[in-house]
């Protein structure tokens, strides 16, 4: 993993809006009615486009914007067997919704796991890798990353109706996802495991106490480590978040309540929410932690949930704050969460503005670099 050795590097949380033409294709793929050649051509083109956009915005560690994925987590449905045919399990009612019933929530149903988890289409991973490798070869960048869902996240989105226990289910998911993780790393990319499962008590485990939830997190970290065994920590970054949406967030577990457990993950960097007003103050938490020597921080210094384009001077101030806590070499400037976590979910930031925000990110990193070097 490249680090900010001579200047502050920049990256983002992974997903970017899909081009309008790709959205119906992703929906059709979900329905099983897509023309595969058309889909492949469209995703390949979309990856080229977003890779170019990131380079134009001056981002140093770039991704495919998850163009081939309908959502950051449920994309596994096309890749793995063992899931049911229909969305039939209710998501829990979140604590936010209980407190603010008029806010306007999407009530989604989930596809359960009803059989043994096994790969059915690994070529989707290979296509993603090829698309990103080819697209990134054509633009200036420092490094390339690719996202993948953590075992705990898949377990949350696909409730278990088959395995004897959550532990068994997590282990099966870890064994399967491991192949995807390994392929991403073998391609020379940085693997980003998307881990809202390590923070999102409010959505997934609203009725647990913090202590009970810490137990869930510990189980998820254990499964993640199992899936990552044999993969060098320095090739993996973990994205920790509380959901990408502009929700009230008052029930977000504080970073201090979970970070000791999260830090047991065998990864080289942690990407986390640092820009939105619910979590901005948590930069101080890192000062009080006994952070492992090798661990790189990728704080969000851009808020993915608002159209307001951050001022580069403010981005710089946020970066410098983190550099003051852990040292400039251990900070990579990032974004709170994805700009397009789901293809057909209306993003918190209108797509043309997301690029303006990425530009503000790289300008802010330049200002910070001048101050720090």
Would you count residue 103 as binding another protein (CB under 8 A)? yes
Q: Would you call 70 helix, strand, or coil by DSSP?
A: coil
Would you count residue 287 as binding another protein (CB under 8 A)? no
Give the Cα separation of 23 and 342 in Å (integer): 10
Interface with another protein in residues 266-285 (CB under 8 A): 275-281
Q: How far apart are the first and last CA of the chain?
A: 21
Give the Cα separation of 41 and 55 in Å (integer): 22
Q: In Å, what is the CA distance from 178 to each residue of 125, 143, 151, 229, 289? A: 12, 22, 9, 8, 30
DSSP 205-257: -TTS-HHHHHHHHHHHHHHHHHHHTTS-GGGEEEEE-S-SS----TTPPPHHH
Q: In angstroms, what is the minimal distance from the CB of 202 to another protein?
A: 12
Q: What backbone torsions phi and psi does residue 346 show, to the nearest 5 degrees? A: -65, 120
Q: Which C-beta is closer to another protein: that of 109 or that of 281?
A: 281
Q: Which C-beta is closer to another protein: that of 88 or that of 250?
A: 250
Among candidate residues 352, 283, 286, the one with its CA nearest the CA of residue 319? 283
Q: Which C-beta is closer to another protein: that of 221 or that of 244?
A: 244
Binding another protein (rule: CB under 8 A), the pick from 310, 323, 338, 342 is: 310
Would you count residue 58 as binding another protein (CB under 8 A)? no
Q: Which C-beta is closer to another protein: that of 321 or that of 328?
A: 321
Q: In angstroms, what is the minimal distance from the CB of 370 to another protein?
A: 15
Give the Cα separation of 286 and 259 in Å (integer): 9
Binding another protein (rule: CB under 8 A), the pick from 43, 60, 247, 362 is: 247
Would you count residue 23 as binding another protein (CB under 8 A)? no
Q: Which C-beta is closer to another protein: that of 88 or that of 210?
A: 210
Binding another protein (rule: CB under 8 A), the pick from 248, 257, 345, 371 is: 248
Binding another protein (rule: CB under 8 A), the pick from 56, 307, 329, 371 is: 307
Q: How many residues bind another protein (CB under 8 A)?
A: 35
Taking each helix axis from N to C end, the angle separating 166-186 and 123-137, rounded to the nearest 10 degrees, works out to: 40
Footprint of another protein (CB under 8 A):
99-100, 102-103, 246-250, 275-281, 302-303, 305-311, 313-314, 316-317, 350-353, 356, 360
């Amino acid at each position: 993993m490249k680090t900010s050795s001579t200047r502050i590097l920049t990256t983002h949380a992974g997903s970017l809006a899909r081009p309008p033409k790709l959205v119906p294709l992703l929906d059709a793929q979900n329905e099983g009615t897509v023309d595969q050649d058309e889909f492949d051509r469209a995703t390949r083109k979309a990856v080229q486009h977003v890779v170019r956009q990131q380079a134009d915005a001056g981002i140093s560690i770039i991704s495919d914007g998850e163009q081939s994925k309908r959502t950051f987590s449920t994309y596994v449905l096309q890749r793995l067997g063992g899931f049911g045919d229909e969305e039939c399990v209710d998501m829990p009612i979140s604590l936010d919704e209980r407190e603010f019933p008029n806010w306007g929530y999407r009530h989604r149903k989930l596809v359960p796991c009803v059989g043994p988890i096994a790969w059915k289409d690994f070529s989707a991973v290979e296509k993603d890798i090829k698309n990103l490798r080819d697209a990134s070869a054509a633009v200036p960048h420092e490094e390339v990353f690719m996202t993948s869902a953590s075992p705990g996240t898949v377990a949350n989105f696909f409730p278990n109706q088959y395995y004897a226990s959550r532990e068994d289910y997590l282990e099966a998911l870890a064994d399967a996802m491991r192949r995807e993780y390994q392929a991403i790393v073998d391609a020379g990319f940085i693997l980003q495991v998307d881990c809202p499962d390590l923070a999102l008590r409010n959505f997934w485990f609203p009725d647990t106490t913090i202590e009970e939830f810490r137990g869930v997190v510990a189980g998820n970290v254990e499964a993640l480590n199992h899936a990552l065994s044999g993969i060098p920590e320095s090739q993996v970054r973990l994205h920790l978040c509380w959901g990408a949406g502009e929700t009230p967030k008052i029930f977000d577990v504080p970073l201090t309540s979970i970070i000791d457990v999260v830090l047991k993950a065998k990864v080289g960097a942690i990407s986390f929410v640092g820009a939105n007003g619910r979590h901005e103050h948590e930069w101080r938490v890192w000062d009080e932690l006994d952070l492992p020597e090798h661990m790189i921080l990728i704080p969000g210094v851009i808020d993915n949930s608002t159209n307001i384009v951050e001022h580069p001077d403010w981005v710089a101030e946020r970066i410098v704050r983190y550099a003051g806590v852990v040292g400039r070499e251990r900070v990579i400037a990032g974004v709170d969460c994805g700009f397009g976590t789901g293809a057909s979910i209306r993003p918190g930031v209108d797509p043309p503005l997301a690029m303006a925000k990425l530009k503000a990110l790289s300008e802010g990193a330049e200002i910070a670099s001048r101050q720090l070097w």
